[in-house]
Amino acid sequence: VRPVRVLVTGASGQVGSELVAHLSSRRARLEVLGVSSAHVDVGSREAVNEVFDQFRPSIAFHLAAMTQVDACESEAERAFRVNAWGTRNVVAAAEAVGARVVYVSTDYVFDGTSDRPYHEWDPPKPINVYGASKLGGEMELRPEDACVRISWVSGAHGNNIVRTVLKLLAQGQELSFVTDQVGCPTFTFDLAPVLALIGLEGLSGIFHVTNQGPTSWYGFAREIAAQSGAEPDRIKPVLTKDLVPPRPARRPANSVLANTAIKFAGIDPLPDWRESLPRLLAEIGPVPAA
């Protein structure tokens, strides 16, 4: 039996490295090729065509993105080139070899003004360049492709709030986190199996996939402190409007994604993030102050 060929863009990233490890560890016969910007710039149509033409995947998990939300404000052209045009290139190359695409998108496609969690059929309305460019990528997908929106990601490989809090606590600092942005943390080891399932089962359409349990960045940081044995009161509350200096990109106040479509598809929801946090803390291990 010929193995199923699976291409992963953004393979050196937080989510990509976990997804490649997960796919490679599955017993099913998969041939996995992970690429990062050093191998293939998704903004280059020729480079994308070349890797699809040579590897001929049947599934492409497209995770590559310019993810620096604040830098996207001042580098909008680069953000759209990578996130929107890059996705157009991936979809066109997939079409040429008969591959389906699983595109990973973001809670930042919403404006955050809803008084309830956003479900998959809510109209997007981004309030920053990153969100607009990722929505541009969504608009490139075909009916047979899948779009998986995730939020507030942390994993063992990469910089994220968990690592930041651990480092600043080790430095003996007091830290402030905002109370008026609410979302659902998502851990890469819980996300990767569901991403893989959506791709390998051939599901199409939009899916919101996050760990369960809304919290603010303040609530998240306090729990990281508490579960790592530090005093939670070292985390101080602050309002977004009082941040000094203010951050260049606006963020949605409500980033909570209702995981409605995976429920309808009969896929188990990811655990509450508080239950999964001990595993991530163990995987990250002690973080030095330096």
Ligand X SMILES: NC(=O)c1ccc[n+]([C@@H]2O[C@H](COP(=O)([O-])OP(=O)(O)OC[C@H]3O[C@@H](n4cnc5c(N)ncnc54)[C@H](OP(=O)(O)O)[C@@H]3O)[C@@H](O)[C@H]2O)c1
Residues making contact with ligand X (CB under 6 A): 9-16, 36-38, 40-43, 63-67, 82, 104, 106, 134, 150-153, 158
Q: Which is nearer to ligand X, 222 or 251 (CB)?
A: 251
Nearer to ligand X, 28 or 38 (CB): 38
User: What are the structure tokens assigned to 79, written together?
Assistant: 């953000």
- The residue at minimum Cβ distance from ligand X is 13
Work out how close the CB of 127 gets to ligand X at its nearest, in angstroms, rounded to a whole number: 15
Strand order across the 146-150 sheet: 30-35, 4-9, 59-62, 100-106, 146-150, 205-208
Q: How far is the CB of 110 from ligand X (least distance, A)?
A: 12
CB of 89 vs ligand X, minimal distance in Å: 10
Give 22-61 as a 3 state SS string: HHHHCCCCEEEEEECCCCCCCCCHHHHHHHHHHHCCCEEE
Query: Rounded to whole angstroms, how far apart are CA atoms 138 and 173?
Result: 40
Compute the least distance from the CB of residue 267 to ligand X, in Å. Answer: 19
The residue among 119 and 234 lying less far from ligand X, judged by its C-beta, is 119
118 has catalytic annotation: no
Question: Which residue from 8, 10, 2, 14 is spatially nearest to 157, judged by alpha carbons?
Answer: 14
d(CA 209, CA 258): 8
Count of Cβ atoms closer than 10 Å to residue 267 Cβ? 18
Smallest separation, CB 28 to ligand X (Å): 23
Smaller CB separation from ligand X, 136 or 281: 136
Q: What whole-number distance in Å separates Cα of residue 17 and Cα of residue 159?
A: 13
Nearer to ligand X, 104 or 169 (CB): 104
CA distances from 197 to 16, 61, 159, 191 (A): 15, 11, 26, 10
Which residue out of 108, 118, 130, 218 is catalytically annotated?
130
So which residues are the catalytic ones? 130
